[in-house]
Each structure stands twice: as C-alpha cells, then as structure tokens.
Chains A and B, each alone.
Chain A
Amino acid sequence: MPPICGEMAIKEGYMMPFILFISCMAIIGFSIYLTRKGVIKPKIRRLPAIDAIDEAVGRATELGRPVHYTVGLGSVSNVQVIAGLSILSYVARKCAEYDTRLIVTFSVPNVQPVVMDLVKEAYMAAGKPENFKPEDIRWLSGRQFSFATGVMGIIMREKVAANLLLGYFAAESLIFAEAGFRAGAIQIAGTTNSYQIPFFVTTCDYTLISEELIIAGAYISQIPEQVGTIFGQDLIRLITVALIVIGSILYAVGFKDFYLWLNM
C-alpha cells in the first residue's frame, strides 16, 4: 500500500475494512443527526424478551424470591457484557422499586466495580439506597466451570424466581439455563454466540438473539438518538446485503473484479 503520510500506510488487505469503517461511522452519525432533527422517526419492532423483564421481576416480587442476573464470562470490554450491563441498569431499577432482591454474578473481576456502581445508582434513583446489598454483587471465580458451579448453586439454593442470562456465554450456558428450569424460574437469555443460542432457545422462556441483545439498551431507553443508531445499523445491513447479492451474481457470471475489489 502506498504511504498516506511519512511511514504511515493502510495495512495490506485492510483497504476495504478501512473504507467500511469510515462509511459505517458516517452512516450512523448521519442517522443520529436526522433523528435528532426529526427528519426520520424510526420505530423498533417489539422485543418480547425485554418486555418480559417487568413480568419476571413482578413474578419474583409476588413469590418473595430473588432475581438472578449474570453477564457471564466476559470482561467489561466485551460487547455482550456491555449490552448486558445496559439491561442490568433497568432490571436493578425495577428490583429497587419493587423491593425485590437482586443477585448479580460474573466471572471477570473487572466487571465488579461497574456492576457495583450501576446497581447502587439504580437503588439511589429509586430512593432506596439502604436496600442496596454489596454482598449480592458476586464475583465467583475466573475459571469457567468453577463459575458455573457457583451460579448453579446460587440458582438452586436461593430458589430464584427469575433467571436473567444476558451477556457472554460459552459451554456453561446450558448449565445455567437447566438450573433455572429446575428451580422453576422464568428465564430470559441473550447472547451473540451462535453455538449457545440453540441451548437458550430450547431451555429459556425468552431469548434475545444476536443483535437483539446489543440493541436492548437503546430499546429500553427509547431515546430518539439511540434509536437513530439502530436505523443507521439497518441501513448498513441493507447495503451489505446488496453488496453480497451483487458480488455473488457478478462472480457467478465470471466477472471477478468486483470480488477482488471487495477483498482489497
């Protein structure tokens, strides 16, 4: 690649990702601008799993049993954990309002201060800071199956009425979901890991599949600018699908330059 400035050059094979990165940012930024100006008023389709959170917390309140929430194995830099934290903020607020005990578990220690702040703020916002219990924010283990054992134990011992699994999960996903099923909990799960989605679909009452988990924070907030980013994301998806279809047709008829250009 020819240098842009001095020794600086686009890495070999990264020209198209560079163009796509800039384009994606521009499209999402423009969508936010249009939404803010009121030019477009995008609507998000209903997400039953998110709508069911109120029902889950309400059920836990009626039964007088706790709500369990886990963001799984990821660290605070993981996109699924970040999405899980956005939903946690809403769940914590609901639990604080209804005086329902909330137990939060995670595997990576750097999630702890963030969760602690998030839940504490939710209790303060609900006007009940005295109900916040730091001991219910639990780091269990950094090892996958030790963490799974800990979570399974909490679900069974505390007889949780709602089991919310929203974040990054690997092989332990089914252990959590089966433990929740056996405890008779209403279960809401979400992950982008395609290997774990089938386990959640078969064992949980509601499942957030892939991007549904990541956009859940925007769905809950309903802030126009946040919804605008989802509009931008859908626009990029349409362009991507169009490029895939055009590329496939051109490649099939023997015109390979377009394919090579996309792999530049």
Chain B
Amino acid sequence: MSRVIKRDIPILLLTFTALFQAADTLIEEPTLNSYADSMRSAASIIGTFALILSVTLLTRLHTRRLQRRRTIIESTVLLISLWIPLVWGLWQFSVGGVSPTIEPFVQGVFNGIVSPGDSTIYAILAFFIASAAYRAFRARSVEATILLVAGIIVMLAKAPIGESIWSGFPILSDWILNVPNRAGVTVIILSAILASIALYVRMMLGYERGWMGRAAE
C-alpha cells in the first residue's frame, strides 16, 4: 500500500498530466484546452500552499537561533521584515479591502528597501564580471586564447574606439556573434530539449524519482 501511495500514484498522476498538457499544446479541442487550462491553475494554487510551509520553517529556524542567542540581530531583522508587512498587508486587506499591491506601507517597504537592495546586488555583478573575465582571459591554452581574441574583438566592436581603430571590427564581431556563437548556442538548446524529453520519459516510467523526493532505484 505504501509503495502504491508513495510511488505508483504520483507516477500515474505525472504521466496523465504530462500527456494531457502535451495534447493541449498540439491539439485543438475546446473541452480539452479548457480542462488543461484549469489544470495549470490548480497546479499554481497547490504550489502556493508550499509557501506556507517555507515561511513556517524559516520562522522556526530563526526563532530557534534567537532562543540559542545566535545571530540575534540578523534573525530579528529577518523575522520583523517577514512578518510585519505580511500581517499588516493581510489586516489592511481584510478590514479595508486594500490590495497589498497598492497598500502604502507595503509598497513603501518594496520601493524604499527591497528594490534598492536588489539594484545594489545587481550592481555588484559588474565587479564580479571583471574579476571572472580577468581569470578567463589569461591565455593559458589554445581554447583560452581563442576566447581572449574573440572577447577583445567583440569588446572593441561595441566600444566607440574600436571602429576608429579599424572599421572591420563591427563586421567581424557580428560574424562571431551570428555564426560560431549562434551555432554553439543552438547545439546547447537542441541538446537540452532532447535530454528533457528523455528525462520526462524516465520520470513517467519511474526510473527518475528525485522530483517526488525519492532516490533512484
């Protein structure tokens, strides 16, 4: 019984859902298309419940840390940031009917704290790219040398000075991006699609079981 519940039923559900969604993509049939749409909505609703579990576990983790007097400041900030906007947003919604997307306090937290924080972290990428590029552009092998040469040509073509040095840089850069680069990217995409199909077959046959929290047999 345990095997049926833990293994067979999830695999049956997966197979049915996967084939149903594939049929929805390929076949025009109003009833089938409408049921497939409802199925996708149901999946996103079920997924939302996982958020409750995650928030509960995160709260428990940081509450324990506070009890053990570890990372007091960080855990306090996290719990306040997590719960105050959540409770306030829900309160405003249930009492005043104000949606959290327009509620001033919740919006203030997002616009004043979260968005600038996101931008700051994104900006750090510039320094990380420079550091990674330095390591990548050391011509230690034939491949690294090709990368170095291709990188310099594309950079010079994108910078105004490149065209002043030699008018052929933009043409050469376009060729690098549109021919060898595109060929490589196409191979990566094609390989990934074919491997995905094989993965879904393995999942439907029950060989691949990581998606249901079980190790392979």
Contacts and interface: CB of A to CB of B under 8 A. Distances in A.
Contacts of B51: 109, 142
Interface in B25-61: 25-30, 32, 43, 47, 50-51, 53-55, 57-58, 60-61
Interface string B110-148: 000010011001101100110111011000000000000
A47 B202 CA distance: 20
B213 A114 contact: yes
Interface of A: 1, 4, 6-12, 14, 17-18, 21, 24-25, 28-29, 32, 75-77, 79, 82-83, 85-90, 93, 108-118, 121-122, 125, 134-135, 137-139, 142-146, 148-149, 171, 174-175, 177-178, 192, 194, 197-199, 201-203, 209-211, 214-215, 217-218, 220-221, 223, 225-226, 229-230, 232-233, 236-237, 240
A214 B174 CA distance: 32
B208 A138 contact: no
B192 interface: yes
Contacts of B185: 194
Given A171-B125, A237-B194, 8 more contacts: A8-B28, A9-B29, A85-B211, A109-B51, A139-B57, A145-B122, A194-B188, A215-B199
19 contacts: A1-B28, A8-B28, A8-B32, A9-B28, A10-B27, A18-B27, A79-B192, A79-B200, A86-B208, A90-B215, A110-B50, A115-B213, A118-B213, A148-B121, A203-B135, A210-B191, A215-B195, A223-B207, A232-B201
A87 to B, nearest CB: 8
B102 interface: no
Given A145-B118, A203-B135, A215-B198, A178 B28 contact: no
B129 A174 contact: yes
Contacts, number: 217
A145 B133 CA distance: 21
Nearest to A111: B50
B152 interface: no
A19 B189 CA distance: 20
Contact of B211 (A6, A76, A215): A76
B64 interface: yes
B98 interface: no
Contact of B189 (A171, A194, A220): A194
Contacts of B136: 198, 201-202
Given A28-B201, A112-B50, A211 B194 contact: yes
A210 B198 contact: no
A214 B47 CA distance: 23
A202 B135 contact: yes
Contact of B202 (A121, A175, A177, A218): A218
B2 to A, nearest CB: 13
Nearest to B32: A8
Given A28-B201, A146-B114, A237 B191 contact: yes
Contacts of B212: 114, 117
A240 B211 contact: no
A218 B196 CA distance: 12
Nearest to B22: A21
Contacts of B133: 202
A231 B28 CA distance: 33
Given A146-B117, A174-B128, A230-B198, A116 B213 contact: yes
A211 B191 CA distance: 6
Contacts of B117: 145-146, 149
A191 B58 CA distance: 27
A168 to B, nearest CB: 11
Contact of A18 (B26, B57, B60, B199): B26
A192 B192 contact: yes
Contacts of B179: none
B195 A211 contact: yes
Given A86-B216, A89-B216, A240 B29 contact: no
Contacts of A11: 25-28
A10 B26 CA distance: 6
